[in-house]
Amino acid sequence: MTSASPHPGSGAAQRSPVVIIGAGPAGLTLGNILRAADVDCVVLEIETRAFIEQRPRAGVLEEWAVRGLEQRGLAVNLLARAQRHTECEFRFGGERYRFEYGELTGHHHWIYPQQLLVTDLVHEYADVRGGDIRFEVRDVELHDLDTDLPSVSYTDAASGERVRIRCGFVAGCDGARGATRAVLTPDRAHISRYDYGIGWLALLAEAPPSNDCVVFGIHPNGFAGHMARSPEVTRYYLECPPGDDPENWSHDRVWSELRLRLDAAGAPPLKEGRLIEKRVLDMHSYVVEPMVFGRLFLAGDAAHLTAPIAAKGMNLALHDAFVLADALLAHLGKGDSSGLANYSSACLGRVWDYQEFSQWLSGIYHGTSSGDPYRAGTTLARLRRLFGSPAAASTFAEQYLGKDAGY
């Protein structure tokens, strides 16, 4: 199953069973699983190693995703360092409402910043398992994807030489703006997109968490979120107009709005600190169908984006990687192509389930700030039901945890 590849820039024809484009959670997890099974692959990444190991992104991992990493030997640091969460808190109408989903289901979340997971995965792939990963590649192009002999070419940053790798399969794990999505013309894939019409100001504060769990503030001024990332750093979100300029939000304005929107009886005061990140996210989602074109298999944000409303994106990327890795190993090791044939449908069930839940949860988060009294009223009705009906609470908990998304 292995195939040697000459050193980049040698001028010789290069071959690898699998080329993975993008060194995020999906690409690196896929690469590690293949390397553990002695399948050679090449990972191409446009950024530097230092950049991807420091880039702040998501931080919530569902229990099934961590279990999948653990089963594949990829969760040692995670399990030693991550925070285990079993409840969250909603604040609305000046009151605090604890939602104990761990008690309801026996399941939990892990909080582990994506950059730490990426650092772990890069180390395991490159330093421990000896995987071939090439950083700072330029001008990536895909060729002959609808044939049995696809290839990927790129410009080597050090030599300036054009390099081509012939392969059996290409895994597109490089997000919505990457080279793999660029080849998906309308005749090759359908992209469903939903725009929420709102923005979130994403903030990282150099400050300890102000609560022992995730907090969702439902307020007429707009949604506010509090998510621990580490003992020293906290992620906050503030609803804002789409396309807003982060510079419109001074330090004082940010903390004033956070105090207002997260205020509730008995709530501890916010622990304020320097804002080390401010960026506006325009809330939108998309799904690419199918997630396959010829020998190209999309995974993670290249295939689907779920707005961070329900913290599902990194979990979906890991699910794609698990499914695609198993399918590739079955094909390369046993000649069984059924997993590859069913890859798209095997992933899209969970993708659409998470999309629907995120859209539903958006109604909760943003209804009272919509300016529409009807939406505000139905939002409060949903919240009352969530805390008054055991059936509604159980359903929410399962969706929030991604516990039963395989139907």
Q: Is the pLDDT of residue 1 over 70?
A: no
Q: Is the pLDDT of residue 406 over 80?
A: no
Name the least confident of 193-197, 227-231, 293-297.
Answer: 227-231
Q: Is the pLDDT of residue 81 over 90?
A: yes
What is the 3-state secondary structure of the chain? CCCCCCCCCCCCCEEEEEEEECCCHHHHHHHHHHHHCCCCEEEECCCCHHHHCCCCCCCEEEHHHHHHHHHCCCCHHHHHHCEEECCEEEEECCEEEEECHHHHHCCCEEECCHHHHHHHHHHHHHHHCCCEEECCCEEEEEECCCCCCCEEEEECCCCCCEEEEEEEEEEECCCCCCHHHHCCCCCCCEEEEEEEEEEEEEEEEECCCCCCCEEEECCCCCCEEEEECCCCCEEEEEEECCCCCHHHCCHHHHHHHHHHHCCCCCCCCCCCCEEEEEEEEEEEEEEEECCEECCEEECHHHCEECCCCCCCHHHHHHHHHHHHHHHHHHHHHHCCCHHHHCHHHHHHHHHHHHHHHHHHHHHHHHCCCCCCHHHHHHHHHHHHHHHHCHHHHHHHHHHHHCCCCCC
**What's residue 184's pLDDT?**
87
**What's residue 329's pLDDT?**
98
Q: Angle at the Cα of 312 (from 123 to 191), degrees rounded to 5?
A: 105
- The average confidence (pLDDT) of the chain is 93
Residues 402, 253: Cα–Cα separation, whole Å: 35
**What's residue 8's pLDDT?**
47
Quick one: pLDDT band at residue 403, thresholds 50, 70, 90? confident
Structure tokens at 283: 């809330």
Quick one: pLDDT band at residue 187, thresholds 50, 70, 90? confident
Q: 0.95 exceeded by the pTM? A: no
Tens of pLDDT, residue by residue over 150-185, are 999 999 988 999 999 999 999 999 998 899 988 988
Stretch 241-268: mean pLDDT: 97
Stretch 189-204: mean pLDDT: 95
Q: Is the pLDDT of residue 44 over 50?
A: yes
Beginning with the edge strand found earlier in the chain, give each strand of the sheet holding 60-62 in spatial order. 60-62, 109-111, 83-85
Q: Is the pLDDT of residue 404 over 70?
A: no
Quick one: pLDDT band at residue 12, thresholds 50, 70, 90? low
When computed from its CA atoms, the radius of gyration of the chain, rounded to whole angstroms, is 22
Quick one: pLDDT band at residue 188, thresholds 50, 70, 90? confident
Higher pLDDT pick, 88 / 406: 88
Quick one: pLDDT band at residue 193, thresholds 50, 70, 90? very high
Quick one: pLDDT band at residue 5, thresholds 50, 70, 90? very low
**What's residue 58's pLDDT?**
79
Residue type at 359?
Q
Stretch 302-331: mean pLDDT: 96
Q: Is the pLDDT of residue 407 over 50?
A: no
Tens of pLDDT, residue by residue over 203-243, are 999 999 999 999 999 999 999 999 988 889 999 999 999 99
